[in-house]
């Protein structure tokens, strides 16, 4: 891309970066702290990806998604996953009407823009598979008819890291379909005090609508135009290959700890997410820092570690941090 083309793109990028900043500010009127989570929700929404969120209950996950849906003028649904849930409870079903002799389609809660799949690992594998297939294909088949899901469409699936009893862990192949995996912690002391105050006097003024679904689709088109230098493209590939062949990237010490490296989906998602990260930062080009910022969220759930890594106390974040600090930056 020429410097003139970059200059022409810059005003559009600046205008949209301002809108995204306004979205975060408006969500912040309701959600205290959790700026990282809100930023990643916006990033995934524009990058057309989905999020797997690991965090304890009561950390504003539902509030954040619901508030974001109001600010970007989209529909919101929530499904609480339980062991007795059926695929039809998620995607919908056909109902027979004896009086007419016909089947009527009853669409499930998946037909929305923002879907909160709460405690996804509490549902049986066939329910998880139904949701994840719909996420991948962006469509649902009921009977002999196929229905496209609404656009934009974002799934925020949560799982509790503490409670393991009565859960069905997501298979690695299914987890790989999520663009990002976030880890959310407790708020700071000051944030906790602010949460206490706001709970006593809830917001009375309605939220201001800052973006529309059309704006989100327009932002996707704009993100595709963000310039990425071939050296930065190679950096993405180097990071992913370092998870598969650590020894070739001066990472011999972590080679015994990685059983399976990141799939090509990691490369695709790093490319898409880095462009959106640049857009959100008000730049018409991608920098290596954009890659470093979003790499942990894209790579952590795509690495399968050996028993030796667990025995030595290493987790996926430790491995990703080591890779990011060792692979040469262009």
Alpha-carbon torsion angle 118, 120, 126, 130, nearest 10: 60
Percent of the chain's residues with pLDDT above 70: 96
- Is residue 161's pLDDT more than 80? no
Token pair of 69, please? 């849906």
Q: pLDDT tens, 207-229? A: 788 888 888 999 999 999 999 99
Token pair of 132, please? 């994840």
Q: What angle do CA 80, 202, 209 make, to 5 degrees?
A: 75
pLDDT of residue 151: 87
Q: What number of other Cβ atoms are within 10 A of residue 282's Cβ?
A: 15
Token pair of 242, please? 């370092």
**162 DSSP 8-state letter:** S
pLDDT band at 249; cut points 50, 70, 90: confident
- Is residue 163's pLDDT more than 60? no
Token pair of 125, please? 């594998």
pLDDT of residue 166: 63
pLDDT of residue 273: 95
- Is residue 173's pLDDT more than 80? no
Burial class (CB in 10 A: 0-12, 13-18, 19+), 204: exposed
List the domain boundaries for the chain: 31-206, 226-326
- Is residue 276's pLDDT more than 90? yes
- CA 103/CA 46 separation, integer angstroms: 37
For domain 226-326, the CATH architecture is Orthogonal Bundle (1.10)
CATH superfamily of the 31-206 domain = P-loop containing nucleotide triphosphate hydrolases (3.40.50.300)
Residues constituting the chain:
330
Mean pLDDT of the chain, nearest integer: 86
Q: Which residue has the higher pLDDT, 318 or 101?
A: 318
The model carries a pTM of 0.88
Q: What angle do CA 234, 287, 254 make, to 5 degrees?
A: 55
Q: pLDDT tens, 225-247? A: 999 999 999 999 999 999 999 88
Average pLDDT over residues 73-88: 88
pLDDT band at 8; cut points 50, 70, 90: confident
pLDDT band at 2; cut points 50, 70, 90: low
pLDDT of residue 171: 76
- CA 263/CA 261 separation, integer angstroms: 7
pLDDT of residue 165: 61
Q: pLDDT tens, 277-325? A: 999 998 989 999 999 999 999 999 999 888 998 888 888 999 999 999 9
**227 DSSP 8-state letter:** B
* CA torsion through residues 148, 212, 266, 155, sign: negative
pLDDT of residue 95: 85
- Is residue 46's pLDDT more than 70? yes
3-state SS of the chain is CCHHHHHHHHHHHHHHHHHHHHHHHHHHCCCCCCHHHHHHHHHHHHHCCCEEEEECCCCCHHHHHHHHHHHCCCCEEEEECCCCCCHHHHHEEEEEECCCCEEEEEECCCCCCEEEEECHHHCCHHHHHHHHHHHHHCEEEECCEEEECCCCCEEEEEECCCCCCCCCCCCHHHHCCCCEEEEECCCCHHHHHHHHHHHHCCCCCCCCCCCCHHHHHHHHHHHHCCECCHHHHHHHHHHHHHHHCHHHHCCHHHHHHEEECCCHHHHHHHHHHHHHHHHHCCCCECCHHHHHHHHHHHHHHHCEECHHHHHCCCCHHHHHHHHHHHCCCC
Average pLDDT over residues 173-196: 86
């Amino acid at each position: 891309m020429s410097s003139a083309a970059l200059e022409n793109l810059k005003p559009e990028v600046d205008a949209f970066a301002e809108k995204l900043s306004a979205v975060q500010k408006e969500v912040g009127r309701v959600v205290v702290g959790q700026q990282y989570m809100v930023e990643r929700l916006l990033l995934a929404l524009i990058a057309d990806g989905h999020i797997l969120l690991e965090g304890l209950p009561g950390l504003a996950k539902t509030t954040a998604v619901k508030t974001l849906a109001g600010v970007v003028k989209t529909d919101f649904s929530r499904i609480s996953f339980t062991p007795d849930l059926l695929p039809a409870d998620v995607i919908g079903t056909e109902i027979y009407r004896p009086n007419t002799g016909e089947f009527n389609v009853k669409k499930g809660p998946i037909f929305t823009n923002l879907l909160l799949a709460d405690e996804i690992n509490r549902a049986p594998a066939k329910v998880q598979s139904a949701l994840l297939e719909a996420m991948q294909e962006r469509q649902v088949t009921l009977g002999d008819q196929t229905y496209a899901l609404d656009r934009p469409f974002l799934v925020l699936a949560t799982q509790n890291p503490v409670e393991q009893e009565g859960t069905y862990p997501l298979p690695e192949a299914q987890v790989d379909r999520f663009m990002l995996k976030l880890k959310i912690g407790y708020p700071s002391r000051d944030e906790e005090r602010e949460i206490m105050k706001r709970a006593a006097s809830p917001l009375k003024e309605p939220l201001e609508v800052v973006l529309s679904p059309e704006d989100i689709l327009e932002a996707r088109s704009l993100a595709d135009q963000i310039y990425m230098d071939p050296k930065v493209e190679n950096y993405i590939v180097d990071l992913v290959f370092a998870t598969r062949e650590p020894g070739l990237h001066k990472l011999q010490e972590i080679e015994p700890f990685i059983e399976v490296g990141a799939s090509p989906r990691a490369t695709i998602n790093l490319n898409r997410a880095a462009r959106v990260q640049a857009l959100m930062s008000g730049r018409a080009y991608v920098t290596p820092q954009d890659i470093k910022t979003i790499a942990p969220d894209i790579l952590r759930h795509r690495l399968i570690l050996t028993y030796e890594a667990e025995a030595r106390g290493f987790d996926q974040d430790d491995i990703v941090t080591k890779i990011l600090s060792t692979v040469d930056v262009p």
